[in-house]
């Protein structure tokens, strides 16, 4: 069984970073005003929902290939916000999933989002569809749905693999407005090439904070930014100083 090695810097670093993010949340909850920079891709979500409504065609939200993990949870949270916007216009969202655990979670989140958006009757449970647990069977299922339903907007948020380009290029060929966000670094270039807007890297985890502007979520994003500055400084400092540091310190730093 694996456990943390407290003889290295890593466990201390993870707890320190967690504490900084927690501090950001606390600061925000006591009323500190925090700013988050503009993310054009997220601003475009409302435009995409509006365009789909005008065209009278549905939207598709693909929450990636992974099962229960942090990127998928984040994707479902974003789907909830998109559904709240869609409910305002009584638009339809189709959400295909590849994992049955996500199916139940997504159905619950979207049902409540439509209810909060003031259109509980516009929610159709059949639009949350389990297609397949197999990567390419899922991809062909999504492509088929896109073509048959003539979707006007596509949202790709979550962990993706080789199927990312198959999905995004099909949407591009259909003329759908496409917004993507993924922490899967290898798929980012494909989404940039085939989608209208793409959020990359850490922006992916800031989407819900950006959309809701809730102070507590903004606080966590502020904490993450402080963590990144500290990590970058640590990398720079240890790179410069490694020639002068004693072996025991280098071992602790994992160099």
Site residues for another protein, window 13-72 (CB under 8 A)?
14-15, 17-18, 21-22, 25, 67, 70-71
Q: How far is the CB of 130 from another protein (least distance, A)?
A: 4
Residue 204 interacts with another protein (CB under 8 A): yes or no: yes
Residue 116 interacts with another protein (CB under 8 A): yes or no: yes
Residue 112 interacts with another protein (CB under 8 A): yes or no: yes
State the alpha helices, DSSP H only, in the chain.
10-29, 40-55, 70-88, 100-116, 135-149, 163-174, 188-194, 207-212, 215-241, 247-253
| Comparison of 192 and 241: residue with beta carbon closer to another protein | 192
Q: In 3-state terms, what secondary structure has residue 42? A: helix
Contacts of 50 (CB under 8 A, 6+ apart): 89
d(CA 190, CA 29): 38
Residue 134 interacts with another protein (CB under 8 A): yes or no: yes
Q: CA nearest 87: which of 133, 125, 43, 123?
A: 123
Q: Show contacts with another protein in window 74-103 (CB under 8 A).
A: 74, 76-81, 100-101, 103
Residue 214 interacts with another protein (CB under 8 A): yes or no: yes
Q: By rule CB under 8 A, what count of residues binds another protein?
A: 77
Contact (CB, 8 A) for 97 and 63: yes
Residue 250 C-alpha from the chain's centroid: 36
- Could you tell me which stretch among 1-9, 31-39, 58-66, 238-246 binds another protein (CB under 8 A)? 1-9
Residue 175 interacts with another protein (CB under 8 A): yes or no: no
Q: How far is the CB of 44 from another protein (least distance, A)?
A: 18
């Amino acid at each position: 069984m694996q456990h943390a090695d407290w003889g290295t810097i890593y466990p201390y670093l993870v707890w320190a970073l967690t504490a900084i993010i927690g501090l950001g949340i606390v600061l925000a909850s006591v009323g500190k005003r925090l700013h988050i920079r503009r993310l054009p891709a997220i601003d475009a979500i409302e435009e995409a929902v509006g365009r789909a409504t005008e065209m009278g065609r549905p939207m598709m939200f693909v929450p990636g290939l992974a099962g229960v993990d942090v990127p998928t949870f984040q994707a479902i949270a974003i789907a909830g916000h998109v559904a709240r916007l869609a409910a305002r216009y009584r638009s339809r969202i189709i959400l295909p999933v590849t994992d049955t655990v996500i199916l139940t979670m997504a159905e619950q989140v979207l049902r409540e989002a439509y209810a909060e958006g003031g259109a509980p009757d516009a929610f159709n449970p059949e639009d949350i569809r389990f297609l397949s647990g197999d990567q390419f069977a899922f991809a062909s299922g999504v492509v088929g749905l896109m073509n048959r339903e003539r979707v006007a907007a596509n949202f790709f948020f979550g962990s993706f693999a080789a199927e990312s380009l198959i999905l995004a290029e099909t949407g591009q060929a259909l003329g759908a407005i496409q917004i993507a966000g993924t922490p899967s670094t290898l798929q980012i270039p494909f989404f940039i090439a085939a989608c209208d807007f793409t959020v990359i890297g850490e922006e992916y985890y800031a989407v819900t904070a950006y959309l809701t502007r809730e102070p507590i979520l903004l606080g966590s994003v502020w904490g993450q930014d402080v963590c990144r500055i500290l990590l970058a400084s640590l990398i720079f400092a240890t790179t410069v100083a490694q020639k002068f540091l004693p072996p025991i310190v280098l071992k602790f730093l994992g160099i």
